[in-house]
A and B are shown apart, each in its own frame.
Chain A
Amino acid sequence: MGSMNDLVQAELRKITTTGLWWGLLIPTVLVALGGGLLSGGFGQLMIEFTTSAEAEQLSDVLGVTPDQWKFSLLGIGRTINIVTLFPLVFGAMAVANEIGTRTITTTFLTAQNRAQAMLAKLLVYALWGAIYGIATIAAVALGVVLTSGSSQMPGIGDWAMLALACVLASILMTMFGVGLGALLPNAAGVVVLLIMYFLVIENAVQFGLRLSGTPETVVGFLPNGSVNGLTGSVVVDLFMAKAGVVPEEGIDFLRIIAGAGGAQAWWLSGLIFFAWVAASFGGGWARMTQKDIT
């Protein structure tokens, strides 16, 4: 398998010899940092509000314990959801860019076969997805630390779980992008389509369901719903574990805020999105191994 190592090395060099990866890493870190600052600040604001005398009286009457609620977690979940759009775009450019610049010809001429070339790309982009994920959680954490007091800070265990969900989501989003970029190899077209879908289309569907009063469970099985469910459900679980008493009707609201409305458990959401990744990459794989390069 010496040739496979060589192709992985070639894919690494393709990424490091052009600026796209850090060009996308800058907004990744900035948005993650901004999201972290807002999440921490929002949590701090909520805690100051709920510990005011009147609010305390109210919560005592209701039998809930809002002063223990880590609102910052919800913002962290939302931030990760949005920031993973950058590794998604990065992944989508993997094949689409090579088709656009016609370097794909040389790539295929120097690989033993197209399957190996595609596999090498997938492995390297998965690694880069992890790099984006680590940068994201680090920037989010920095933002939260800067704006929240100790009561709003997630614990060490919470951070570990958040980091796991974040890196996993980032890797999967990158791989989903690689597949779709191979399936629809037009760099501008695929990026616009992905951003429209993940930011607008699926959210519009979800909003429509919500307005019509239909259960949103179906959303948890769609690409955006499932990948958001991966991080969102982790966040809600962490929130609930330390929240003490939360009213039943509040939980659904929390899930929506965390981006996990209609989503399954975090691990199941992850598996569902993994199935989407497999479908996307499988389609891209089939297209690229069959396509006449003219």
Chain B
Amino acid sequence: MHDGSGLIAVQNLTKHFGPVAAVQNLSFTVSPGSVTGFLGPNGAGKTTTLRMLLGLVRPTSGTATINGRPFHQLGRPGRVVGAVLEAQGFHPRRTARNHLRVYTAAIGVPDAQADQVLTLVGLGSAADRSVGGFSLGMKQRLAVATALLGDPQVLVLDEPANGLDPEGIAWLRNFLQSFARMGRTVLISSHLLAEVEQTVDQVVIVSRGQTVYYGPLEQLRQQQQRRVLVQPSDIGALAGALQAEGVTAIEQLPDGRLAVSGVDSKHVADCALRAGVSIYGIQEEQVDLEQLFFRLTSGQYAGHVPAPYQQGGWAR
């Protein structure tokens, strides 16, 4: 039987669909007590990886385990791991409650659990309606309810925000965080970092079927260099003064401001004062994780965009 650790371990996981390598030699672990984001552009192999973890797709090589065991050795998997997957469906003419009762039976938990999870996800009043008439957001809530039926220790969610309204996303965020705080494991995939940035503590970033970053989100944030955005009265004078002080990472933005990297705003302001340049506005740029994420995962599809920023001619 499984070890009850709540640990997800993916080791050297590889999957080929014919000639296409969907996942290549992927390795990472997910620990209980935190929400882990599984990030990468569409087509990076996220869904295939999650499906291998859940025993739905057979790996070409490598292993994926939950609680130290492959999915099919978990015994009663519905009581260990709950999953919300994109391609998971409902019979359109079955009511929400009946849908859940099919799976309370399969998992072997009391039927009362069906009504409990319906209330939990806010579908209590729609229990006797056929799922065919549900909105995308309601279906997604029902999928979450289904995943929770067996009171699992581990939750795996594939792009759960798809179809959810802002209210639903906020609810899901709070729910997942409190779920993780109970010492359980949450693995949630998304192709948008911004979508899960406020939810996750750890991230696994994949691109082209391979892991490109794996660790705390905080650490990723610190990797990003800060920039000071300043609007001076005389761009040339300020840039010259900064360069004279050895600050070379200066960039002119299309809106006429300067972006100065590697120094703080106080340094820039002092330098401007000494050079006799007025400053109309100055701010330290928020850490732009999305850009970092994009840089980590770029190149999967060879699309090029024009780069006007580089035409400013300032030393970089």
Contacts and interface: CB of A to CB of B under 8 A. Distances in A.
Given A2-B108, A9-B105, A294-B51, A105 B88 contact: yes
Contact of B58 (A2, A97, A103, A292): A292
Interface of A is mostly: helix
Interface string A278-292: 000000000000101
A214 interface: no
B106 A111 contact: yes
B270 to A, nearest CB: 59
Nearest to A104: B89
Contacts, number: 94
Nearest to A292: B57
Contact of A103 (B54, B72, B90): B90
Contacts of A110: 77-78, 103, 106-107, 150
Interface string B53-75: 01111100000000000001011
Interface string B78-100: 10010101011111111100110
B102 interface: yes
A109 B102 CA distance: 13
Contacts of B48: 294
Nearest to B101: A13
A52 interface: no
B76 A3 contact: yes
A13 B104 CA distance: 10
A112 interface: yes
Interface stretch (A14-22, A128-136, A157-165, A217-225): A14-22
Nearest to B131: A101
Contact of A105 (B58, B74, B87): B87
A241 interface: no
Contacts of B146: 106
B226 to A, nearest CB: 43
A290 B88 contact: no
A101 B89 contact: yes
Contacts of A106: 88-89, 103, 146
Contacts of B88: 102-103, 105-106
Interface size class for chain B? 35 or more
A19 B81 CA distance: 31
Contact of A101 (B56, B91, B95, B98): B91
A61 interface: no
Interface string A1-44: 01100110110111001110000000000000000000000000
Contacts of A7: 105-106
A6 B57 contact: no
A108 interface: yes
A43 to B, nearest CB: 42
Contacts of B58: 290, 292
B94 A18 contact: yes
A90 to B, nearest CB: 15
A113 interface: yes
A147 interface: no
Contacts of B75: 112
A17 B54 contact: no
Give the most central of B85, B92, B103: most A CB within 10 Å. Answer: B103
A293 B57 contact: yes
B42 to A, nearest CB: 15
B78 A103 contact: no
Interface string A86-126: 00000000000100011101111111110000000000000
A111 B107 CA distance: 7
Nearest to A12: B105
B90 A6 contact: no
A101 B92 contact: yes
B106 A17 contact: no
B56 A108 contact: yes
B139 to A, nearest CB: 11
B174 to A, nearest CB: 25
Contact of A102 (B78, B87, B106): B87
A14 to B, nearest CB: 5
Interface in B107-165: 107-108, 146, 150
B9 to A, nearest CB: 19
Contacts of A13: 98, 101-102, 105
B76 A108 contact: no
B300 to A, nearest CB: 20
Nearest to B48: A294
- List of 10 A-B pairs having minimum Cβ-Cβ separation, nearest first: A102-B89, A10-B106, A17-B98, A110-B106, A10-B105, A9-B105, A110-B78, A293-B56, A6-B108, A292-B57
Interface of B: 17, 47-48, 51, 54-58, 72, 74-78, 81, 83, 85, 87-95, 98-99, 101-103, 105-108, 146, 150
Given A9-B106, A105-B88, A293-B57, 8 more contacts: A13-B101, A17-B95, A97-B91, A101-B89, A105-B56, A109-B77, A112-B72, A294-B51
29 contacts: A2-B108, A3-B76, A3-B108, A6-B105, A7-B105, A10-B102, A10-B105, A14-B102, A17-B94, A97-B91, A101-B90, A102-B87, A103-B91, A105-B87, A106-B103, A108-B56, A109-B55, A110-B78, A110-B106, A110-B107, A110-B150, A112-B74, A112-B75, A112-B76, A113-B72, A292-B51, A292-B56, A293-B56, A294-B47
